[in-house]
Amino acid sequence: MKVRKIKAIIVKELKELFRDRVALVTVFLVPILIMIVFGYGLKLDVKHVPFAVLDYDHSNLSRKIVSEFAENREYFKLTGYLNSEVEIDRVLTDGEVRFVLIFPFSFEKRFKEGKIAKFQALIDGTFPYRAEVIKSYIRATVQNETLKRLKEKGNNLLCDIRTRYWFNESLNQDKIVAVGTLAIALLISPAVFSALLIVKEKESGSIYNIYSSSITKLEFLLGKMVSGIFVSFLIFLVTLSMVLFLFGVRPKGDILTLSIGTVAYLSVAVAFGILISSFFSSQAAAFIGTAILTIVPSMLYSGYLTPVSSMDRGALFMAHSIPTFYYLRFLKGIFFKNSPIDYLLRDVGILIFFFFALFSLTLFFFKKRELS
């Protein structure tokens, strides 16, 4: 292995990139856009849910319960009262409201008689996750009201619960999403960039210079790999500063550990892109192939959108076989938990294992000749 040849490849790649304004913009613009689009656009919180009321009872109690909902402005937004059942259909279908509360005749009367007073909530179930959350909000609100009334009647509660959130004290979803998006962006961009690093040479024909020369495939691949990791690290610096300054998330752990883990993760992404490029010969195909193979699993199974703990067996297996899962765990450890170093190093170790596995596969599949 000659370091000189590896260096020649690296120098060539970087010169080409930094002299090509279009390529440069694409390389950095794409991750920035991913950060902005997902970081701001992906709202998993269910808040300010619009609702309407159909009150047949017109009693003090029904009004009291409605105001209990309406006053909780963070979660609910009362759009108005309905006059008839016909209107329920309309407001739910139009999406004007997400749920409707219906109070039957003699609602208050039953309550005063000591019977169970029932009222109905109709929830828009087109988006199950949201519907579930709304249901639990409604439950909680009603139970709160019930408990209050029990207390007023002089009943002592058997037990009470005080909750506090750890790691993300204000329970700010935006911060979690921003950090998660960092993990996604740092997989997609480096992988796509590295895939094109080789495929562009196949498309133009300059790959024949490599095929026909005496440079070994290890030297060539290492050269491409190091160029890819170097450029990816620049992407990391850009996206990290977005997380720090734009989204205002400050890590509890130290930046050095973060950088070391990130280099491991970027190496995996780059190695994956280069592996993919062994199977494609057109830039368009390599681009789409790499994008799909990175976006889909990393979004669905890494714990970015769905908590890993709520996955079924198959999904859980998928989660553990993709590197983003470990990096996301690592990132959360650094940013929110300030996890002990051996916890973090375990994830970095797994990432390094991924890297060697992918690189060995690439060495096996990459041929210094055209596919026949």
Partner 1 sequence: MNVVEAEELVVTYRRGKVIAVNGISFSVKEGEVFVLIGPDGAGKSSILKAICGVKGYKEGNLRVFGEDPNKEREFERIKEKISFMPQGLGQNLYHKLSVEENIDFFAELYGVPLEEKEKRKEELLKITGLYSFKRRKAGKLSGGMMQKLGICCSLIHKPKLLVLDEPTTGVDPLSRREIWKLIYRFSRGGTTVIVSTSYLDEAERGTGILFMEKGKELFKGTPEELTKVDLEVFVVEGKDIEEAYHRAWTISKTPRFKGNKLRVVSSEGKLREILKDLNVSIKKVKPNLEDVFVEKIGLVRVEVPEEFKPKVEVPDIAISVEGVTKKFGKFTAVDNVSFTVRRGEIFAFLGPNGAGKTTLIKTIIGLYSPTEGKIRVADRENNFKNLIGYMSQKFSLYSDLTVIENLILWGSVYGVKPSKVKEIFDSVSSSLGLRKFEREIVKNLPLGIKQRVALLSALIHSPAILFLDEPTSGVDPVERDVFWQLIRGVSRKFGTTVIVTTHYMNEAEYCDRILMMNRGKIIALGTPDELKKEVAMSQTKSEITMEDVFVFKVEESEGKEN
Interface ranges with partner 1 (CB under 8 A): 2, 4-5, 7-8, 12, 15-16, 19-20, 204-206, 208-216, 367-370, 372
Minimum distance of partner 1 from residue 213's CB (angstroms): 4
Of 5 and 332, CB closest to partner 1:
5
Of 19 and 164, CB closest to partner 1:
19
Cβ atoms of residues 176 and 302 within 8 Å = no
Of 4 and 250, CB closest to partner 1:
4
Minimum distance of partner 1 from residue 280's CB (angstroms): 15
The structure tokens listed for 344 are: 């973090």
Minimum distance of partner 1 from residue 266's CB (angstroms): 24
Q: Measured between alpha carbons, how far is 191 from 143 in angstroms, rounded to an integer?
A: 50
Of 212 and 241, CB closest to partner 1:
212
Q: Give the 3-state secondary structure of residue 68.
A: helix
User: How many other β-carbons are positioned within 10 Å of the β-carbon of residue 360?
Assistant: 12
- Residues across the chain: 372
In this structure, are strands 120-123 and 99-103 parallel, antiparallel, or unpaired?
A: antiparallel
Per-residue burial over 139-165, b if 16 or more Cβ lie within 10 Å, else e, is eebbeeeeeeeeeeeeeeeeeeeeeee
Of 20 and 89, CB closest to partner 1:
20
Of 155 and 204, CB closest to partner 1:
204
Minimum distance of partner 1 from residue 2's CB (angstroms): 6
Minimum distance of partner 1 from residue 102's CB (angstroms): 59
Minimum distance of partner 1 from residue 5's CB (angstroms): 6
Enclosing H/E stretch for 309? none
Which amino acid is residue 56, in one-letter code? Answer: Y
Q: How far is CA 74 from the centre of its chain?
A: 24
